[in-house]
Structure 1
């Protein structure tokens, strides 16, 4: 019986020692976390505006200087995403804590070293859709705002998608700056373009189906692109205006003068005639021009 009691006492002693070691570990971890949070807070206060209690746009520029990145660098937007910052150009203390704790960055040197890993994290497929959606919401600067003006959207597209889908983004920006039907872009259109870049073959768009649930602006974008790619352009002599050579006569708005006829063809219209043809020409998304279209036919020589 005494031996049994001795073994039991030994087991209790081992358990007690193990428990004490765990308590010490937890205590040390807690103290380390507290110290880290204190340093994160100190770093915040070194940049924050005393009157507002936030890091404002001017202070963010100071932060960028210390990080040796431009304030327009996409990694600053990624940092805002990591913090889940709600107001464009501003970081609160709680947002700062959330982001820097996740990055294990309690000094400016550590934060600078964390940026490449943050970029890798954002570009993981599981995270990028969330980041892309966040980028749009972050730019909604007014209460109840649901859309963003075309100029800002073009800048944002270049920032967040330009490196992944450069050709698609360049072409879409060209379309947005040329078209006249849309003044703003909403979230559905914004997310639709990201899906478009991932799913639709480029540059032919052969697998694009207008019957599927795509935003109308993307239907128009595809039509516009087909207009620009369908057929070689004829020569236009424009009187009093900047020379204009569209790559296709799709969707022409033409006033007949003399022998001029517009006929429906696959994807749009073309002009045919004998001799000089004058009128007005314009695509859906661009300005209209007066033109003189010279026939490309060669007159048969008499034999």
Structure 2
């Protein structure tokens, strides 16, 4: 008999991966936790050799088809797809260029910068996702969007890649306006699902929070923006970007479980003091 927790995990697993219930149970039986099982599935969807919805065709994605598509969108004066080609691609995929799912696509295709895609990353990335046509790519986007919302480990990979992806060439930090724009995409999406669960640490591990204790709320993201603007911060370092995710996942809504003795960036230390004054 399948217990209630297993049923919930199966529903989550199938929703994120598009796999069959039978496959979901096999992965969950082996890996126990839903997030680890989902990650294992995407690393090796054929581990248990059962057919899955997103791999319904038996032939592997065609490299030549992907090269043809790449040429269609490539800048005629460069070796990469650039902004104009990206806009055309988004039109063909029927996706808004500012949709958060494109950050997952950028991670999968190893996009080096906003609106840029090189041939190697494009080919290997789409092959890894099982796609070699626009319809296949379109059908993959909802799966990536759901995984980004519900899988803590995957969210962290996309989140960390976004810093390098969004950074201007030659710059070590993100401009504040750029950082806020990407936080504005990622934070609400992660809070909708389990990716930014208030009872999880940076890698999706449970942390020492009371089960009834509320964590980071959507309005706190705006507080963070207000604080950074008031302080006159010009740029966000990679350390602050990376640690902010761990902070969001571990802090409670009253900011009382924050430990100043831990190695948090000073900007986050200052924000906690600012937020506590705002709560008074």
Q: Which has the larger radius of gyration?
A: 1
Correspondence 1:129 to 2:129: no
Cα distance per residue 1:29-70 (max 9 Å; x no partner) = xxx54x711111111111111220211101101111111111
Q: Distance in 2 between matches of 1:197 and 1:111?
A: 32
TM-score if structure 1 supplies the norm length? 0.61
Q: Distance in 2 between matches of 1:103 and 1:142?
A: 28
More strand by share: 1
Q: Is the counterpart of residue 186 in structure 1 residue 237 in structure 2?
A: yes
Aligned pairs, number: 196
After superposition, the C-alpha distances for 1:139-173 in whole angstroms (9 at most, x for unaligned) are 12222x21111111111110111223423322211
- Which secondary structure does the structure 2 equivalent of 1:162 belong to? helix
d(CA) in 2 for partners of 1:85 and 1:99? Answer: 10
Q: Give 2:165's match in structure 1, choosing from 138, 149, 160.
A: 138
Counterpart check, 1:54 vs 2:80 = yes
The alignment yields a C-alpha RMSD, in angstroms, of: 1.7
In the alignment, structure 1 residue 105 sits paired with structure 2 residue 131: yes
8 Å contact kept, 2:148–2:154: yes
Q: Aligned residue for 2:35?
A: none
| Residue of structure 1 equivalent to 2:194 | none
Q: Which has the higher contact order (CA 8 A, sep 6+)?
A: 2
Rounded Cα–Cα distance in structure 2 between residues aligned with 1:190 and 1:196: 10
Distance, in Å, in 2 between the alignment partners of 1:155 and 1:174 is 13
> 1-side partners of 2:245 and 2:164: how far apart?
15
Q: Secondary structure at the match of 1:163?
A: helix
- Superposed CA offset, 1:234-267 (max 9, x none): xxxxxxxxxxxxxxxxxxxxxxxxxxxxxxxxxx
Q: What is the CA–CA distance in structure 1 between the aligned matches of 2:188 and 2:172, rounded to whole Å?
A: 23
| Partner-residue secondary structure (3-state), 2:257 | coil
Please tell me whether the aligned partners of residues 168 and 197 of structure 1 are also in contact (alpha carbons under 8 angstroms): no
User: Which structure's residues are more often helix, by fraction?
Assistant: 2
Q: Do the aligned partners of 1:87 and 1:138 also contact (CA within 8 Å) in 2?
A: yes
SS at match of 1:132: helix
| Maintained 8 Å contact 2:255/2:275 | no
Deviation of residue 84 (structure 1)? Answer: 1.0
Q: Distance in 1 between matches of 2:114 and 2:252?
A: 34
Q: Secondary structure at the match of 2:261?
A: coil
Distance 1:164 1:80 in 2: 17
TM-score scaled to structure 2, two decimals?
A: 0.66
| Structure 1: 5+ residue stretches without partners | 1-31, 231-303
CA distance in 2, matches of 1:162, 1:189: 19
